[in-house]
Amino acid sequence: MLSLILTIFGFLVGCESLIPSGNCSLPAKGPRKFPPNFSFGVATAAYQIEGSWNADGKGPSIWDDLVHNNPEKVEDGTNGDTAADSYRLFDLDLQALKYLKVNHYRFSISWPRIFPTGDISSRNQKGIDYYNMVINKLLANGIKPIVTIFHYDLPSEIQKLGGFTNALFIDYYLTYAEELFKNFGDRVKTWITFNEPMKFCKPGYGEGTFAPLVTSSGIGDYLCLTNILKSHAAAYHLYRGRYFPRQRGKMGMTLDSLYFYSHLNDTELIDRSLQYYLGIMAHAIHSKSGGFPKVLIDDIGRNSMREGRSKSRLPSLEGEWKKYIRGSADFLGINQYTSRIARRPLQPIGKNPSMDRDYDTEEIIDEKWLQAKSDWLHCIPEGMEDLLKYVRDEYDNVEVFVTETGWSDNGELNDDNRILYLKSYIQGVLNAINDGCNVVGYTYWSLIDTFEWIFGYT
């Protein structure tokens, strides 16, 4: 009874400090100066800006298929056939980059431009030439290229074999990645193997709302994530063994994560949410013990037994794979946009089976939080700072590159809220650095208007 009274009392007095105010500002907690060599830049991805979807020998990707065969899946029925036309107009992008005085530009390479069928037998020199041009012009202007190897545009032919759910994917990915190291590795010194696997595997191979529209929740999504971990590690070891001695670059994976707060200061719930968003990939690569987080192994194993299965829907990473994946990165790319309040649900949530059902946590927001045009996006700079501190404590202060943050609006020129967002998020990064976090770069999404997948141009 006493503890209940204390909890209620603690809730009443502590409530304000447990949940961010949502007014999109953050006080400085230390010197207002970034470390030397800290890198500022902007990001894009191939399918979202390039257009020229079938030019110069490029093959179709699962996104070309989605927008052409199922345009109703995109909110405004638009597509990336032309997008910002960057394949033809890169010089305009370059002017914008120079105008912004960025240190780095993060962009992705389109796999079906390099290997139109996904396979090395279809190698397309014109695709290689395009990215050589981009990289050379960036370097000639003092802008460091940061290359995302895979940002969602899987060659259609590989999807016909099951895409990420087929373990054969690992060999295809490795051959593609090696082609990039061979052609560009003399000049590209920062490689990102995959962008946001969760944002791709869960809707793409689970919920069926994102290319390649596979509906296999709680099964296909976990297979996809597991094959991404294996492909990532294979590419890392290949690079370290065969290319690093001459090329001396760094490699990591970019993960997105919300940060979480709790009205009741339920720290176990906050940690659990972070394990489901970030730990599901980061634990295998960056933790001391490796493999999937224990809470996921336990939850998904238990639910699988309850469903009458003889083994867990979460593939096992025990044994050789676990050792092979652990430590397979030089840095962690973090995409951090916003935060949520986590709450234990009264009823089971999500489909049975599904990641949502396994996760079993409600996510809510505070009505007072400043909202962007996107309904999922609120300005919570505290979450940026707190996520970086969590990464510092959870993953032995691994080097972190913030590879995306950003704010949506109606395109108005007086974008005061974007200024507030940028100021406060950059302050969040600086506060984290002043508190010992090993953060080396900050990237804004995006350089130019992009085709935002199922949100189209809305």
**Which residues does the annotation mark as catalytic?**
196, 404
249 and 187 in contact (C-beta within 8 Å)? no
Residue 440 engages ligand NAG in binding (rule: CB under 6 A):
no
**Smaller CB distance to ligand NAG: residue 220 or 249?**
249
Stretch that binds ligand NAG, among 12-20, 43-51, 119-127, 409-417 (CB under 6 A): 12-20
Distance (Å, whole) CA 55 – CA 45: 17
Q: What are phi and psi of 343, to 5 degrees?
A: -145, 140
**Smaller CB distance to ligand NAG: residue 18 or 100?**
18
| Shortest reach from residue 262's CB to ligand NAG, in Å | 9
State the DSSP H helix or E strand holding residue 105, giving kind and residue range, or none if neither: strand 104-108
Residue 13 engages ligand NAG in binding (rule: CB under 6 A):
no
| Shortest reach from residue 17's CB to ligand NAG, in Å | 5
147 and 194 in contact (C-beta within 8 Å)? no
Size of the site for ligand NAG (CB under 6 A): 7
Residue 310 engages ligand NAG in binding (rule: CB under 6 A):
no
**Smaller CB distance to ligand NAG: residue 12 or 140?**
12
| Shortest reach from residue 99's CB to ligand NAG, in Å | 24
Residue 3 engages ligand NAG in binding (rule: CB under 6 A):
no
| Shortest reach from residue 18's CB to ligand NAG, in Å | 5
Distance (Å, whole) CA 329 – CA 253: 7
One-letter amino acid of 287: S
**Smaller CB distance to ligand NAG: residue 268 or 449?**
268
Place of tokens 């299965």: 309
Distance (Å, whole) CA 440 – CA 67: 37
90 CB neighbour count, 10 Å cutoff: 18
DSSP letter, residue 215 = B
DSSP notation for 171-239: HHHHHHHHHHHHHHTTT--EEEEEE-HHHHHHHHHTBSSSTT--B-TTTHHHHHHHHHHHHHHHHHHHI
Residues numbered 344 to 383 that lie near ligand NAG (CB under 6 A) are: none
436 CB neighbour count, 10 Å cutoff: 10
| Shortest reach from residue 382's CB to ligand NAG, in Å | 13
End-to-end CA distance of the chain: 52
Site string for ligand NAG, 22-61 (x = CB under 6 A): --------------xx------------------------
115 CB neighbour count, 10 Å cutoff: 23
Residues numbered 249 to 288 that lie near ligand NAG (CB under 6 A) are: 265, 267
Residue 410 engages ligand NAG in binding (rule: CB under 6 A):
no
Give the binding site for ligand NAG (CB under 6 A).
Answer: 14, 17-18, 36-37, 265, 267
